[in-house]
């Protein structure tokens, strides 16, 4: 199967994929919100449009990652925040107003520490679980 990619230099944005602990595939594309989660057979389990009363702009998902507990974490570059969902798609938490200016990269380690990379090349660790 041939996959087409587009260059950032051409003004296009890549899409992002993450596999969850249950085998679901989580997909985000800044050009085509919502975030979509599909099961192992390719059936859509749920879409999420990111609408939330706490944010002003429309949802602009970029990087997506899952953690060892199956939570789905998505950067929202227009609103400088992170959306966190449980494995079944239910909204869990919105990390906003905590200095997340232009969040780009995401990674979660085995201790559920969230690493966030920024356009400025900065890197921050966020403890988002209790």
**Residue 8: what pLDDT?**
40
Residue 92 counted as domain residue: yes
Residue 37 counted as domain residue: yes
**Domain limits for position 42:** 11-127
CATH of the domain at 34: 2.130.10.10
Q: Number of structural domains, the chain? A: 1
Residue 5 counted as domain residue: no
Residue 3 counted as domain residue: no
* E-only strand ranges, the chain: 15-19, 25-29, 35-38, 44-48, 61-66, 72-76, 81-85, 91-95, 103-108, 113-118, 123-127
The pTM assigned to this predicted structure is 0.81
Residue 13 contacts residue 7 (beta carbons within 8 Å): no
| Selection from 85, 103, 95 nearest residue 127 by Cα | 95
96 or 27, higher pLDDT:
27
* pLDDT tops 90 at residue 33: no
Residue 2 counted as domain residue: no
Residue 27 counted as domain residue: yes
Residue 38 counted as domain residue: yes
Residue 83 counted as domain residue: yes
């Amino acid at each position: 199967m041939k996959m087409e990619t587009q260059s950032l230099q051409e003004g296009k944005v890549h899409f992002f994929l993450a596999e969850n602990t249950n085998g679901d595939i989580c997909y985000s594309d800044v050009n085509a919100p919502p975030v979509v989660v599909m099961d192992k057979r390719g059936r859509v389990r749920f879409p999420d449009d990111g609408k939330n009363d706490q944010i002003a702009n429309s949802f602009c998902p970029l990087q997506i990652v899952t953690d060892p507990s199956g939570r789905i974490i998505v950067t929202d570059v227009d609103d400088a925040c992170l959306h966190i969902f449980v494995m079944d798609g239910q909204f869990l938490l919105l990390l906003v107003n905590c200095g997340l200016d232009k969040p780009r990269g995401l990674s979660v380690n085995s201790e559920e520490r969230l690493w966030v990379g920024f356009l400025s090349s900065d890197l921050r660790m966020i403890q988002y679980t209790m």
